[in-house]
Structure 1
Amino acid sequence: MAADRRAAAAIIMSAIAINERRAELDGAASATLVLLCLLWGLQQVAIKVAMTGFSPVLQGGLRSLGALALLWAWAALRGMRLFERDGTLGLGLLAGLLFAGEFLLVYAGLSYTTVSRSILFLYTAPFLVSVGAHLLLPGERMRGVQAAGLACAFVGVAVAFADGLRLPTNREVIGDLMVLAAAVLWAATTLVIKGSRLVRASSTKVLFYQLAVSGAVMPVASLLMGEAGVTAPGPLALACLAFQIVVVAFASYLAWFWLVARYPAARLSAFTFLTPLFGVLSGALLLGERISVSLAAAMLLVCAGIWLVNRRAPAVGA
C-alpha cells in the first residue's frame, strides 16, 4: 500500500514541475503519457488478479469509493469547491450513471473474457466518440483520415470476434460483447461531457460525479446480482485493488487532466493507441494469455485505427 501511495505521489509531483501552457509535447510530457498508457493497460490485469479475493462488480465499486475519498481529500487540500451550485448536477448524475454502467460491464465482462481481448473491444470507444461527435456536435466533423481509422478499427474488431468464435466455448464472446457495450457507454459519457455545460466544469468535479455515482451504484448492483462479495483476499489481490484505487483511478486521472490543461488535446490523444498494445502484452506476459495470429492482427488494426482517428489535421495553407 505504501509503495502504491509513493507511486501515485511520484506521478502527481512529476506533473506539477511545469505550470505553463505549451503548444508542443516535451520529453517530460511524452514520458508521462507513455507511463499513463502503461498503467491503463495494466489495469485489466489488476482487475483479473483481484477477482481472486473480490467479486467483479463489488471490486469496481470499492475502486470508485476508494478513489472518491482520495479525490475529496485532494480537492479539500487545494481549496476546491466541489459542491458549489453551477447547474451541472443533473448532467453530472447522468455522466456518473453512464460511467457506472461502463465499469459494471467492464468488471463483469472480465470474468468471462481475457485481458487481451477485453482491452481491444473497450478501446473501440475513441471511434464511437468520433462518429457521435460528427453526428451530434457542431464543429466536430469527421475527416477522411478519421473515417479510414474507423474502418481500420472495424476490421480489427471483426477479426477479434471471428477469433473468439473459433474458441471451444462462447464465454469469451459473452465477455467481449459486455466490454463492447461498455465502450458504447464510455463514448456516451464523453459526448455528454463534451456537448453540455459539464465541459466548462472543472475536471476534478466531473471526475467526482463519476466516482460518486459509480461508488453508490456498483455495490448495490453487486448485491442484486448475488455476487459472493469479499472472499478472503490475499496480499496480491489487495495490492491489485490498491493499484486500481490509488494509481489508476486517482493519480493517473489527475495526471491526465493536468496534461490536458497544459498541452494540445490532439497531441495527447495520439498516444492512446499504446494502451491496448500494453494491455494485450501485459495479459500475455503476466497472465499467460494466448495471443493468436488473428488476435495480434486485430490489435495492430485497432491501434492503427486509434492513431489515424487522433491524427492531427494538416495546417491550412501548408
Structure 2
Amino acid sequence: MTTSPNEPASRSTGLRALIDEPRFLVLLPGLFWAGNSIVARSIAGDVPPIGLAFWRWTAAALLILPLAWPHLRRDVPLMRQHWPIMLVLTALGIAIFNTLLYVAAQTTTALNLVMLQTTMPIVVVIASFFMFGQRVTRTQVAAIAISMTGALTLISHGDPAVLTQLQFKRGDLWMLAAVVSYAFYTTLLRLRPPVHGLSFAFASFAGGAALLLPFYIAETLLGRPMPVSMASVLAVAYVAFFASVLAYLAFNRLVELLGANTAGMAVHLVPVFGTILAVLLLGETLHAYHGVGVALIATGIWLATRRAPA
C-alpha cells in the first residue's frame, strides 16, 4: 500500500489514487488498531503476550513476502547499508510497541488501552520538536485539540467526570511506555531508507519477529507456551493481516504524505471505530455523545488533512 518516497505520484486512478489519498489512509490504522486492542484484551490470560506478538509478526512477514519479493533484490543492499535506523525503527515500532500493548492488556482494561493511545499525537509533536526542531503549526494544534476532545468525549461517554474516576493499573504504565515507543517510531520514519514500502514492511516485520524470538523462547520455557486453539489462531490471523500488514502500510504511507505530527492523529480514530464495532458486533446503543465525539474527531482530521496532497 505504501511506495518508495522517490516513486512518481503521477498515476491518479484506481488503487494508486487510494494510496495517495490521506483521507482514505487515515481510516485504516484506526479501524484495525481498534480491533487489535479488543482482541488483545479478549484473549488476555489465555494467550501469552510475547507469543502473540512473535507469531503476529512472523505471520505478517510471511503474508507480505510474495508482494515484497520483486523489490527485495534491489532494496536489501540499501537497507543493509542503513541498518542502524532499520534496527531502531524495527525495535520501536514492531518489537517493543506491540509487545508492551499485549503485556498491558493482561492487567488493564480495553478502555484504558484506547484512552492512553489517544495521547500519542501529543507525544509525537513533542518528539518531533526535540529531535528535529519541527514546530507545530496553529492548524495542527487546533486539529489535535479538536480531535482529542472528540476522542475523550467517546471514552468518557460525554461525562468528563468519568475520566477522573478511571482507575489506573500497572498495565497502564506498560501502555504509556508503548505509546512513547510508537511516537518515536513515527517521528523517526522520516529517516527510513528510500526503499519500496513493501520491502520496508517485510524487513520490519521479519526483523521484529527475530528480535522477539529469544523472549518468546524464554516465555515458553517459563511455563507460558503459545496455545494452539481456535481463539489463538483467529487472534494471530487478525493481528497479522489487518492490524499489521494493512494498518502499517497505510500508516507508513500516511507519514510520507502528511508528516509525523499530522499522521499521528490517526490514533484518535481508534475510539471511533471501537464504538462502531461495539454497536455492530455487541449490540450496544448509540447515544448523543457518540455523534458529538465522532463529529469533533472528523473535524480535527479534516482540518489537518484538507491541504494534504491527493
TM-score relative to the length of structure 1? 0.69
Instruction: Work out whether 1:205 is the aligned partner of 2:199.
Output: yes
From 269, 290, 301, the counterpart of 1:274: 269
- Give 1:113's match in structure 2, choosing from 93, 108, 112: 108
Please give the alpha-carbon distance, in whole angstroms, between the structure 1 residues aligned to 2:201 and 2:299: 24
Q: Is the 8 A contact 1:46 1:241 kept in 2?
A: no
1:218 alignment partner in structure 2: 212
Residue deviations 1:239-288, cap 9 Å, x none? 12111112331234335556777x66698776553223223554687579
Partner residue of 2:241? 246
Q: Secondary structure at the match of 2:210?
A: helix
Q: Is the 8 A contact 2:251 2:263 kept in 1?
A: no
Deviates most, 304-313 or 62-71: 304-313
Per-residue CA deviations over 1:72-94 (Å, capped at 9, x if unaligned) read 22211556534223521111011
Shift, 1:51, TM fit: 4.1
- Give 1:206 shift: 3.1
1:51–1:237 contact (8 Å) kept in structure 2:
no
Match of 1:141 among 135, 142, 157: 135
1:307 CA drift (Å): 2.7
d(CA) in 1 for partners of 2:183, 2:135:
16
Question: The residue matched to 1:93 in structure 2 has which SS?
Answer: helix
Deviation per residue, 1:37-80 (Å, 9 max, x gap)? 32221121222334465211210110011111222222115565
Unpaired runs of at least 5, structure 2: 1-11
Which of 14, 17, 27 is equivalent to 1:17? 14
Whole-Å Cα distance in 2 between the matches of residues 223 and 164 of structure 1? Answer: 39
Distance 1:306 1:112 in 2: 34
- 1:128 is aligned to 123
Give 1:191 deviation, angstroms: 2.0
C-alpha contact (below 8 Å) 1:54/1:233 kept by paired residues:
no
Asked if 2 retains the 8 angstrom alpha-carbon contact of 1:52 and 1:233, the reply is: no
| 75-84 or 119-128: bigger deviation | 75-84
Quick one: distance in 1 between partners of 2:152 and 2:57? Answer: 31
Counterpart for residue 57 of structure 1: 50
Question: SS of 1:19's equivalent?
Answer: helix
Inter-CA distance 162–173: structure 2 relative to 1 (3 Å threshold): farther
Q: Which amino acid aligns with 1:55?
A: P
Task: Give 1:37's match in structure 2, choosing from 10, 30, 45.
Answer: 30
Partners of 2:26 and 2:306 in 1: CA distance: 21
Q: Distance in 2 between matches of 1:165 and 1:227?
A: 38
Tell me by how many angstroms 1:312 deviates.
4.8
Asked if 1 retains the 8 angstrom alpha-carbon contact of 2:143 and 2:304, the reply is no
For residue 130 of structure 1, report the CA deviation from its aligned partner: 1.4
The aligned amino acid for 2:66 is: A
Q: Is the 8 A contact 1:116 1:281 kept in 2?
A: no
Q: Which residue of 2 aligns with 1:184?
A: 180
State the 1:108 CA deviation.
0.4
- The residue aligned with 2:8 is none
Letter of the structure 1 residue corresponding to residue 92 of structure 2: L
1:181 is matched by which residue type in structure 2?
A
Match of 2:6 in 1: none
| CA shift for structure 1 position 32 | 6.3
Structure 1 alignment gaps of length 5 or more: 1-14, 290-295
Return closer, same or farther for 1:189/1:269 CA change in 2, 3 Å cut-off. closer
Could you say which residue in structure 1 is the equivalent of 2:227? 231
CA contact (8 A) 1:45 1:283 kept: no
Partners of 1:237 and 1:230 in 2: CA distance: 8
C-alpha distance in 2 between matches for 1:61 and 1:113: 21
TM-score by length of 2: 0.70
Residues 306/115 of structure 1: CA separation in 2 closer, same or farther (3 Å cut)? farther
Identity rate of aligned residues, in percent?
Answer: 19
Q: Distance in 2 between matches of 1:222 and 1:70?
A: 21
Q: 2:90 aligns with which of 96, 99, 121?
A: 96
Q: Deviations over 1:152-175 (max 9, x none)?
A: 759959x989958846xx6x5222
Give the length in aligned residue pairs. 285
Letter in 1 for 2:244: A
Change (3 A) 1:220 1:283: farther
Q: 1:231 to 1:163 in 2, by over 3 A?
A: farther
* RMSD between superposed Cα atoms in Å: 4.5
Inter-partner Cα distance in structure 2 for 1:251 and 1:274: 16
Shift of 1:106: 0.5
Q: Distance in 1 between matches of 2:14 and 2:265?
A: 23
